[in-house]
């Protein structure tokens, strides 16, 4: 083989290699950009700018608390369904909120770190109801949590697990500005012994989870909006039914 032909062939091979290398480099750069964009989008779900963009896009706004009287839990439809038990512990749940830039108030952050704040051990779908004290039959301007919870239970509602608060926060990105939703839950004590319940809110500066007075005698306005869990009827035990059917009747 002559030297000029060898040089020509080597030059062609080098050009193909450079072209292939450039192609892979471009693909790599585009992949990194896409991943960064996706990561940025996921991490700014709760940021004020993203909330505002969703408000303008979907034209969502806080609705007034309904006033129609409820005589039973069956009188209203499910407001929202969420999933709990998706994180192995409150620390990972809190980290997920931080990665989405969901703000957490000091009291809420404190009870999330308490040993008594327990997350579900397996994924569970929760159906939530949204009601006001007025709907539950209260006619005064304010009502205590003790009276509110007692009335709600009598009508068939259940107190929500504490995990519903942060889970609702990261699953309710289209919350209208000005909406504050009190989680009907058992209060959790702070390190100093103050009973606190959670509130999922959008005050206009971004999506946030805050804490509020959870004492039994604490009063809230009758126009407040409370999130309760819908009652979960236990399915019949088919084994017992089969056993009963197998017993001969006299």
pLDDT digits (tens, 9 = 90+) for 65-82: 557 899 999 999 999 999
d(C-alpha 159, C-alpha 157), whole Å: 7
Q: What is the pTM of this model?
A: 0.73
Q: What does the pLDDT look like over 177-215, one tens digit per residue?
A: 999 999 999 999 999 999 999 999 999 989 999 999 999
Q: Cα separation of 134 and 224, whole Å?
A: 9
Residue 204 is encoded by which pair of tokens? Answer: 């206009």
Domain total for the chain? 2
Q: Are residues 79 and 125 in the same domain?
A: yes
CATH assignment of the domain containing 84 = 3.10.100
- 39 three-class SS: helix
Domain that holds residue 105: 73-230
Does some domain include residue 53? no
Phi-psi region of 89 (alpha: psi -120 to 50; beta: other; left: phi over 0): left
The reply to whether 15 and 91 lie within a common domain is: no
């Amino acid at each position: 083989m002559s030297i000029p032909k060898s040089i020509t062939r080597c030059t062609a091979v080098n050009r193909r290699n450079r072209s292939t290398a450039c192609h892979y480099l471009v693909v790599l750069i585009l992949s990194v950009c896409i991943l960064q964009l996706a990561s940025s989008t996921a991490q700014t779900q709760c940021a004020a700018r993203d909330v505002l963009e969703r408000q303008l896009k979907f034209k969502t706004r806080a609705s007034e608390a309904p006033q129609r009287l409820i005589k039973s839990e069956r009188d209203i439809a499910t407001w929202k369904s969420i999933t709990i038990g998706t994180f192995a512990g409150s620390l990972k749940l809190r980290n997920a909120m931080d990665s989405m830039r969901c703000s957490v108030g000091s009291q809420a952050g404190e009870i999330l770190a308490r040993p008594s704040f327990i997350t579900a051990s397996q994924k569970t779908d929760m159906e939530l109801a949204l009601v006001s004290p007025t709907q539950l039959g209260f006619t005064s301007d304010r009502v205590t949590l003790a009276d509110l919870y007692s009335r709600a239970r009598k009508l068939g509602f259940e107190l929500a697990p504490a995990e519903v608060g942060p889970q609702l926060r990261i699953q309710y990105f289209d919350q209208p500005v000005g909406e504050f939703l009190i989680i009907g839950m058992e209060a959790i004590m702070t390190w100093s012994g103050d009973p606190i319940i959670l509130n999922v809110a959008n005050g206009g500066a971004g999506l946030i989870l805050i804490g509020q007075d959870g004492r039994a005698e604490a009063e809230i306005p009758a126009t407040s909006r409370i999130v309760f869990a819908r009652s979960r009827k236990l399915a019949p035990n088919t084994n017992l039914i089969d056993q009963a059917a197998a017993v001969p009747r006299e």
